[in-house]
Structure 1
Amino acid sequence: MDQKQFANMPQDLMWSMPVQEAGVSVREQLEEDLANNWHCHPEMEIVYVKRGEGVCLIGDHAGRFSKGDVFLLGPYLPHCFHHEPVVLDETGMNNGTAVCLKFLPGIMGGTFLNGAETISIRKLFQAACNGIRLTGALSEEVAGLMEEMVAATPVKRLILLFTLLERMADDNGGILLSSNGYSNHVSIPDQSRISKVFDYTMNNYGDKISLESVAALVHMSPHSFCRFFKSRTRKSYFQFLTEVRVWNACRLLLEDDLTVSEISFMCGYNNISHFNHQFKQVMFKSPREYKKAFHHEAAS
């Protein structure tokens, strides 16, 4: 079943894909084996970040991820996870690691999912179309079950999958990521273009970036690129760039003994007043307030 067929499938049949199309794939992957380009696939996916941190793009959501985070992603929801090089190099080895679990929505069969007993799992699957970040004790429990699944037999994997889906469905410990109005109809060429822009931004956010240079990467005029990027991510390119710069500033504020002025310059700002203004727009507090709040929380 391709993306267009899935997108046009009636709600009554969306989770009734034949059992013979189903399967469970789970494995621990190192950074070099992870698909870090912006992509989508027909399977649902649960991603447990075992080691590493960085920035993720999920539908029209962009944000930071770190060790211990768990994400539930619905079918055909575009996503990518970009691990920070500073994290990968600090021990002299590649330590970005994730446990990735994939399964088709029809793994249980339509009769099972359409039953009254499993309505909570059906709702979970529908919510997953927006992407969900698990929180609190739930994320720890699901991460433990996924670790157990890596070495489990096929039958044991199915049992563990049902267990973790039941826990996620019965627990409200999750945050929806992509907006309700987001359309996940993204073509293969679009995936390639967005991935190229994402990688370029992550590698160059500390430098001056012009709209012309980014548009040239995907062989578009600046005007066409602006329309393209916003139609696929529901935000302007410079809004995305600002978020990337601010999230990296957050990391530097918490990890390094640098001044706000130094961090501002490292994240692509030549004017500290402009940096403070944009930081507050994204984080709802100044850089100094953000750092103070973190240390106060860590000490309590």
Structure 2
Amino acid sequence: MKTNTLKEKTVHGNAMFPLKIYSIIDSESTYSLSYHWHDEVEIIYVEEGEIIFNIDMKPIKVNANECLFINSHKLHSAYAINSIESIHHAIVFDMNILSSSIYDYCQSKYIDPLLNSTLSFPMLIDKTCLCGNNILTEIRGLIDIYYGKHQGWELSVKASLLKIISFIADQDKFIKNTSINLTSNDYKVERIKIILDYIYKNYKNKIYIDELAKEANMNSQYFCRFFKSLTGKSPISYINHYRIEKAAKLLQTQNYKVMEICFIVGFDNFSYFIKKFKEYKNCTPSEYKKMGPSQNYKVK
């Protein structure tokens, strides 16, 4: 079952160096990232504040000076915690960046297993142990190297990634994926992927609960309980939030009138749109438009 709408289409870096770092400064506690997945591995480092990340529907709070690994193909989202400003960095890279033309022990024991998912990175790193401290130090150094762009910085970045892998291997912290059978949670995640894919494709139109339940192969009553148990939101609340995020982006990047945006993103009642926008963004759409991107959150 395809869920291509959820797959991120962004190219991170380029063909010669498939790695990019995104540094997000959220001074208004409005940061929100919709559910998606990608082929690349992602390392999150929170410099200041706290952020909630959902990985395969499991919420994880990442505090200042902590890091999180998001493995390839993992469905994930993120959002700010109320009234807590934050700065975090997302290092997104294709594992092939570390592949060698020579098939050696490094390739066979670590890189290939990470590429074919028989090995996975641990999600949250314990910063109280020596291994965790070493990894955090290396990640901070990697970020500095990336933005410094000194001669040979690409070599230094690759060396840092390999060192991070070596620290994890040294403490035997890699997750070994030996079972080919879907667990109960895996099955639920696959169901949710199908439902979110449908929402992302059809959010501009009227979406009925019966339609979503049919996509999930469930009756409507059970579907609503199932959806809320995994996402923390009712289907309607989730759709409204997604539409508001789409509206916020249009307000920042396009020259549409507020009422036009209301209907573009799928609302059919202007007053309800204003109410929901204020609920999620703590201001009216017009106020949000005047703020400009720098007043909400910035991405380097």
TM norm structure 2: 0.50
TM norm structure 1: 0.50
Query: Which structure has greater helix proportion?
Result: 1
